[in-house]
Chain A
Amino acid sequence: MSALLDVHSLSKAFAGIRAVDGVSFAIKPGSMTGLIGPNGSGKSTTIDCISGFQRPDGGRVVLAGRDITGARPHDIARAGLMRTFQNVRVYEQLPVLDNLMIAGQQFDEAGWVDELLRTRRYRAAVEVAETRARELVELVGLTRYSALEAGILSYGQKKLVALAAALMPKPKLVVLDEPVAGVNPSRIREVEDVLRQLNQAGETFLIVEHNVEFITNLCDNVIVLDQGRKLAEGPAAEVHQDARVLEAYLGLAPEMESERVPA
């Protein structure tokens, strides 16, 4: 089966430091891929390069057969890749429902003239978007907050709003940047369930996360980055046994002691 996302020897340097150094991997449609690694291993830069927020220095990114290397973020989003951000980003002063509806509006038929004249096409598009937004709000369990401004929600709830917004246009691939970092541990299970449910419905995810348990529970394929390079890839159970992964994470070699990073 051909890959939904094909990343080929991606690289990006900042002032001579190779943040991402020839990383290649492929994501199958309908899969759940985890991207893990110690702090500074290049996870965020990798997904920034994939989603267009950083322009890669080299390599290729192909989404569903279309070359999106170095394309602008909004073009990549329109091509079917939606992402969330590590430091949660929502429209603080807009209601939860509007947060979702904005995320979907680029993908319907209504143009600017329809907007101003409130044509039938505009009303139909709004109705479709609102129905979908309500479904997603219910899915992430925020129905009772849907009319409230996103800014008054808790950090974890905002992450759920961001997740639901990313799902609005029914994207081909959803990239989640630390979906449960800073989320109340009792809530992490709920997020897991929601993601699993979506995945079973056919949605493809690439998840960057420090929470190894979360990744292990969810992902069928795990990619480990260290110092900008791909260290290992495979099913979660296998990757955990990999000596190089343990070394990168736990610093078993004496000279790496100072770089100890909790998993």
Chain B
Amino acid sequence: MKLTAVIAAAALAGALPWLTSSNYIIGVALSACIFTVAAAALNLVYGYTGLLSFAQLGFWGIGGYATALTVMTFGGNFWLGLLCAALTNAVVALAIGYPALRTNRHAFVMTTLAFALLVSLVARDWVSLTRGPLGIPGLPPPTLFGYAFRTTPQFYLLAWAYALLALGFLYALCTSRIGRTLVAIKQNESLVRAQGISPMPYKLAAFAIAAAITGVAGGIYTFHLKIIDPLFLDFYYMQTFLIMVIIGGAGSFWGVVIAGVLMAALPEVLRFSEDWRMIIYGAVLLAAMLAMPGGVAGWLHAWRVARMRAAVR
């Protein structure tokens, strides 16, 4: 039943270019695919493992730059660029994750924030590599076996395929015992250790996997924009991912995926009133947080727990 619904939704999303001819709608759907993947990756770190990481913004940026530089400076192709993005991010995540995860959770948040700001500084000031504020324009459309992803609908299919792949992988991970162990680490780390499990490899793996997935998402999005500049590291992106996770319900796979799609579309739906758009958007967020502090999934969960309590009595 659930599986059927998921397959139907995925197929419907894949068929979008044939359902509408509007490049605008397809463009929004493309952003929804990419942002949802980044949010789901953040959910792995924040929702499951309980580590609020602002480093996702840095990984998003490194992914974008690594892909663009591979193609424009080092003469590789787009796919090699994505591979570089994933590998660079995994290595960087292991390097900064190991010391940062040895600190407490609050210090971890600050460390990851500093990292994100640092990446943004490098993007702006290492002019000989990144061209600084000028950015790297004119990113060519990627090709696969002679097929070029040139138009928005074509590029959308690429983003859609990646979203399926990345979300499928994250789902397998989150629903395995690894995912359950991450939740256990979030809830009681010393109990996890008393049960023979070393938390560090789990936390490090979650951090590195999320970094690699976010990096590839950033790489794809960069080539959709056809330019990368330091604005790619704007806090707007981090805020978008975080809103998706929080509204969907940190720690709920489907909650975050559904919120990702809806929250990517919401600012666009509100375009009927240009003046009021962001005000309404803010009001919706505020109302959602007041009514459901644990996100949609948290709200459903509280309801389930209430039923369990009733059943116990």
A binding-site residues for B, Cβ under 8 Å: 51, 53, 72-74, 77-78, 82-83, 85, 89-94, 98, 101-103, 105-107, 110, 112, 115-118, 122, 126, 145, 148-149, 151-153, 165, 168-169
Contacts and interface: CB of A to CB of B under 8 A. Distances in A.
Given A53-B190, A149-B308, A152-B309, A74 B178 contact: no
B195 A72 contact: no
A51 B194 CA distance: 8
B103 interface: no
B181 interface: yes
B99 interface: no
Nearest to A52: B193
Question: Which secondary structure dominates chain B's binding surface?
Answer: helix
Contacts of B192: 74, 102
Given A73-B193, A98-B180, 5 more contacts: A53-B190, A77-B194, A85-B190, A85-B194, A89-B190
A199 B192 CA distance: 25
B188 interface: yes
Contact of B193 (A74, A165, A168): A74
Interface residues of B, number: 27
B195 A89 contact: no
Contacts, number: 96
Given A116-B176, A148-B312, A152-B309, A91 B184 contact: yes
A219 to B, nearest CB: 22
A88 B180 CA distance: 20
A51 B190 CA distance: 11
A83 B177 contact: no
B188 A89 contact: yes
A126 B183 CA distance: 18
A103 B176 CA distance: 15
A116 B198 CA distance: 19
Contact of B180 (A90, A92, A102, A165): A102
Contact of B194 (A73, A148, A153): A73
Closest 4 CB pairs of A and B: A77-B196, A106-B196, A115-B176, A73-B193
A151 to B, nearest CB: 8
A220 to B, nearest CB: 26
Contacts of A78: 196
B308 A72 contact: no
Contacts of A102: 177, 180-181, 184, 192, 195, 197
Given A85-B191, A94-B184, A74 B177 contact: no
Nearest to A154: B312
Nearest to B301: A93
B80 interface: no
B187 interface: yes
